[in-house]
Structure 1
Amino acid sequence: MGFYDAFKDALSVAQKADNVELYRQLLDLSAQALDLQEENVRLKSENAELRKAKDLEARIIRHTELYITLKEDPDDLYYCAHCWDIDRRLVQLSCDNSDGTFICPHCHTTGIFNYGKFQSTQNEISEMGPYCF
């Protein structure tokens, strides 16, 4: 017999005994039990979200530039370290593979994710001279 069934039986007994005060107290107890049940559901949900965030945080790999990656990510995606630090939000960076730079579409943080490509692009620009544009 569950809590609800036991409580229902107790209410029935109190009503049959014509004990108004006991019946009133049981109704108050019922309201408190419902409040506790709602709080329990809320706390379980909050606990699950906190566990999920903690598990995600354990997967974060920080880099010298303002991007982060996730351990065991098959896609090897780059995320904004600034957005993660401020909002605990994973925002995928827009990476320009031609020059090795990135920009966050949310906070507009920029940086370099591939120094080899970036340096190569800078060398090409400097070889063109100052009036090539």
Structure 2
Amino acid sequence: MGLYDAMKDAINLAQKADNIELYRQLLDLSAQALELQAEVTRLQEENTELKKVRNLEADLEYHVDAFVTRKSDVKPIKYCAACWADKKKLVPLQDISWDNYECPLCKARAVDKSQWEERQ
């Protein structure tokens, strides 16, 4: 028997016993139980989102060049480090010129200096 069923049975008993005060208190308790259940659901959803961010954080590789990549990406994609730090959003950077990248969302710029070393 769940909480809802137990409250329903108690309310029915109070109603049959013709005890108005008990009936009101049980209705108040029932409303509080519903509010608590809604809060539990909200917290569970928040917990799920926080776990997703934590798992994603563990998959990120930070670079000196103001971008991040995911370790799990088959082909590395450069993401905006500023958007990740500020909003926890992975926004792919756009290649605007030779080794220069720009975030389409926040307009932050990054340079991939590692490619310079490969060319020399």
> Does the alignment reach a TM-score above 0.5?
yes
Instruction: Look up the equivalent residue of 1:60 and give its one-letter code.
Output: L
Larger Rg belongs to:
1
Q: Residue 25 of structure 2: SS of its match in structure 1?
A: helix
Alpha-carbon deviation of 1:116?
5.0
Alpha-carbon deviation of 1:109?
2.0
Alpha-carbon deviation of 1:95?
2.0
Instruction: Look up the equivalent residue of 2:10 and give its one-letter code.
Output: A
How many residues are treated as equivalent by the alignment?
118
Match of 1:130 in 2: none
Question: Does residue 21 of structure 1 match 2:21?
Answer: yes
Cα RMSD for the two superposed structures: 1.9
Unaligned runs of at least 5 residues, structure 2 = none
Percent identity, please. Answer: 48
Instruction: Look up the equivalent residue of 1:38 and give its one-letter code.
Output: A
In structure 2, what is the Cα distance between the partners aligned to 1:112 and 1:26? 65
Unaligned runs of at least 5 residues, structure 1 = 121-133
Alpha-carbon deviation of 1:45?
0.6
The structure showing larger relative contact order (alpha-carbon pairs under 8 Å, at least 6 residues apart) is 2
Match of 2:4 in 1: 4
Taking the TM superposition and a 5 Å limit, the aligned residue runs for 1:37-116 are 37-96=37-96, 99-113=98-112, 114-116=115-117
Alpha-carbon deviation of 1:112?
2.0
